[in-house]
Chains A and B, each alone.
Chain A
Amino acid sequence: MPSLANSTISQPRFVSRRMGAGATRLAGRTVASLGLIAAITILLYRFFHVNATTAGFLYLVTVLVIAAASGIVESTIASIVAMLCFNYFFFPPIGTLTIADPQNWVALFAFLATALVASQLSARAKRRTQETIARQHEIEKLYSLSRALLLADASRPMGQQVAQRVAQAFELPVVALYERASSSVYRATEQELPELDERLKDAAHRSTSFHDEGSKLTVAPIRLGGQPIGSLAIAGSSLSDAALHSLLNLVAIGLERAISQDSMNRAEVARESEELKSTLLDAIAHEFQTPLTSIKAVTTGLLSDSAHMLPEQQRELVSIADESADRLSKLVTDAIQLARTEGGAFRLKRGVHFVSSLVSGALREMKSLTDGREINLSLSEDLPPVWVDAEMIQMVITHLLDNALKYSPSGTAVSVRAQLSDGRVTVSIANQGPGIPVDEQSSIFEKFYRGKNDRNLKGTGMGLAIAREIMAAHGQQIWVASQPGKGAEFFVSLPLARGAEAE
């Protein structure tokens, strides 16, 4: 019976057929060897009547020929049989296996020792040669596999291609590959083995090998940098350990190449689509702002022309057009900012910045709204610089300032504070408006949300959503504290810059 070490898989018929074929070949070669010795004996004994020395050398040559042509078993049997024939036919008394002269004992043992050693050496040399040829074949197969893997089509699943190419290169009846990343099993051939999927997963997850001598099934983990990234099952051929190791390395590299190619492609696509989006948004901004520019030039031109003051009623009408143009412009700007920042699909250009310059930048941008309002600035002395995208954070502060000003009576003050707490700089903007009802405080950061009591459409409903996206992209928080009737205070946290120079 075939041995079933470490295995429950058996294919008795397949295995015994192979074993039977080997035994038949061995028996055939043994019979042929014995025939050759018999023929030599008849020739020497019957026809040539050579002396014992000549016969001994010729027997020795025959054994060497047999050793060179066949295996260790045949040549050992041939050595013993040749020794017996030599003794029987050529050492006196001839026709018996007894030896009269003790010197002939020495000659006979010398003959046997020489024959055995020569057959051992010859058989070993032959085995080495066969092994070398086998290694050479394996190397050729590995080479052709590496070429095939390099030429693999990156647009098709790599696991399937790798399995097929391994089967082709090594002419294996069964090849299956398990890819951990996609947790799928790829088969190169139709032939099924029971429990193969389980063994593959087991090998990949526990990073252990499995071998069944009987069915010549080997399941081994594919490792990359020590981490198992999948497993490979091959059956029907015995690869040397070295070849198996090289094969697994090649497969690992093939899979890894596919994975890195894939992620590179994805990054490229993301970058291109971000650029396209950005270009489109720029074009939309330009298309909207151009007519608004001429409207604003006309309305502000009329309203500011002190030499030709408009009558009160016309002034009121032009003011309405002017304010509407402002509102439209703000809607367009906010919508584009929201589209740009939504989903965090934009790149931050972080740098080292001072909170004071971010706040003053935002105040400068809001000049038209802050005019005539009391703004209390209290930024702690010696605030460390922060590591942020200045343009984006300035946008956040601008939106918070805009809200604070819009949702509070014109006679009240707005406070901007910044302080260091818990390794971050917290910037807060507070007003003295009606505040935000508790049940609405979590909804206000949703886009297009407007307070229930505020239907006069002061804002665009996008500012806080934009601010939230920008803070999320920075990995930071935005939150609100408000008691109805006592105003609202919005907070953002900013990460500190370390060991860098501020601009």
Chain B
Amino acid sequence: MSAARILVIDDDPQIRRAMRATLTARDYQVSDSRTGQEGLEMLRASSYDLVLLDINMPGMSGLETCRLIRAGSEIAIIMLTVSNAEKDKVDALDAGADDYITKPFSIPELLARIRATLRRLPQPPGHADLQPLLAKGVQIDLPAREVTVRGQTSRLTAKEFDLLSYLLARPNKTIAHRELLQAVWGPDYGDELEYLRVFINRLRKKIEPDPSSPQFLITDAWAGYRFKLSE
């Protein structure tokens, strides 16, 4: 991959300086912005591959910024959180982030997260067979990364897409949490059940006619998840 473009949104100037210096040294193209508002404008003006977004900013909060970015884009987002509290992590993922990292973090740790987030699942050659899938008013267009439920089309983020296509490629089979995490996020992952909970919920909101009683994305308690296909 050629140099990925990263946008750092953080109100602390020292962090912006440190990110710019260290990430540029790793051959990333780095821009930064001081506020969520400014970040949104920069995202509209030019294209980026990934956003590093501080959760705790004056004015427009990180979570709010994340939701607004997600409303119009499937760009990769990593949230920078302070507290290690479960709630903050889930809030970040719920707002549409792909991953989070807790401050203070080390650069190798951050680089690993960036790589995992930008990492794409290699698509099996036969994956064209899977589409278009039509089931009870639900149409999933994998190449276009689009889902249409009762005429309403929504786009999938890269991680959502990878997760869905991994499950779709193995229909009616329970996939263990660890296997899913390592396949979609990478070999460093495996215990982050909260990722799966949040991402499966996000997917359900997009593909299930009734997200509260899923008919496709089934939770097999304590074991994993399964994509249910009739026939």
CB-based contact B86/A296 at 8 Å: no
- Cβ contact within 8 Å between A304 and B108: yes
The tally of residues in A whose CB lies under 8 Å from a CB in B reads: 33
CB contact under 8 A between A502 and B222, given known A286-B56, A290-B15 = yes
Q: Which residues of B contact A (CB under 8 A)?
A: 12, 14-15, 17-19, 21-22, 25-26, 56, 80, 82-86, 103-111, 191, 193, 221-222
| Stretch of A22-30, A185-193, A356-364, A400-408 lying at the B interface | A356-364
What residues of B have a CB within 8 angstroms of the CB of A333 in the complex? Answer: 84
Q: Which residues of B contact A382 (CB under 8 A)?
A: none
- A289 pairs with B104, CB closer than 8 A: yes
Q: Which of B22, B56, B82, B83 contacts A297 (CB 8 A)?
A: B22
- Which residues of chain A in 340-398 are interfacial with respect to chain B, using CB atoms and an 8 Å cutoff? 354, 357, 360-361, 364-365, 390-391
* A interface residues with partner B (beta carbon < 8 Å): 282, 285-286, 289-298, 300-301, 304-305, 307-308, 325, 329, 333, 354, 357, 360-361, 364-365, 390-391, 501-503
Q: Return B169 CB to nearest CB of chain A, in Å.
A: 26
User: Taking each of B22, B105, B107, B108, which has the highest tally of chain A beta carbons within 10 Å of its own beta carbon?
Assistant: B107
6 contacts between A and B (CB under 8 A): A285-B82, A290-B12, A292-B103, A305-B26, A307-B25, A357-B193
* A298 CB contact (under 8 Å) in B12, B18, B222: B18
> Is there an interface contact between B22 and A308, defined as CB atoms closer than 8 Å?
no
> When A391-B86, A502-B222 are in contact, do A291 and B56 touch as well, CB less than 8 Å?
no
A interface: dominant SS: helix
Residues of B within 8 A of A293 (CB): 12, 15, 18, 80, 103-105
Contact check, A301 vs B25: say whether CB atoms are below 8 A apart.
yes
Residue ID in chain B nearest A322 by CB atoms: B106
CA distance A463 to B14 in the complex (A): 31
Q: How far is the CB of A258 from chain B (nearest CB, A)?
A: 37
CA A293 to CA B19, docked complex, whole Å: 10
Task: Give Cα A294–Cα B12 distance, bound, in whole angstroms.
Answer: 9
Indicate whether A364 sits within 8 Å of B191 (C-beta atoms), given known contacts A294-B12, A294-B14: yes
Residue from A293, A298, A360, A501 having most chain B Cβ neighbours under 10 A: A293
Cβ of A300 and Cβ of B107 under 8 Å apart? Answer: yes
A365 to B86 CA separation, bound complex (whole angstroms): 13
- Minimum C-beta distance from A317 to chain B (A): 17
Q: How far is the CB of B155 from chain A (nearest CB, A)?
A: 29
In the assembly, what is the distance between CA of A357 and CA of B177, in Å? 12
Q: Determine whether the beta carbon of B83 is less than 8 Å from that of A301.
A: no
Closest to A285 in B: B82
Separation in Å of the B20 CB from the closest CB of chain A? 10
A329: B residues at CB distance < 8 A: 104
The closest CB in chain A to the CB of B13 belongs to A294
A352, chain B: closest CB distance, angstroms: 10
Is B193's CB under 8 angstroms from A503's CB? yes
Extra pairs beyond A285-B82, A292-B103 (4, CB < 8 Å): A293-B12, A293-B105, A297-B22, A301-B22
A285 and B12 in contact (CB under 8 A), knowing A297-B22, A360-B191? no
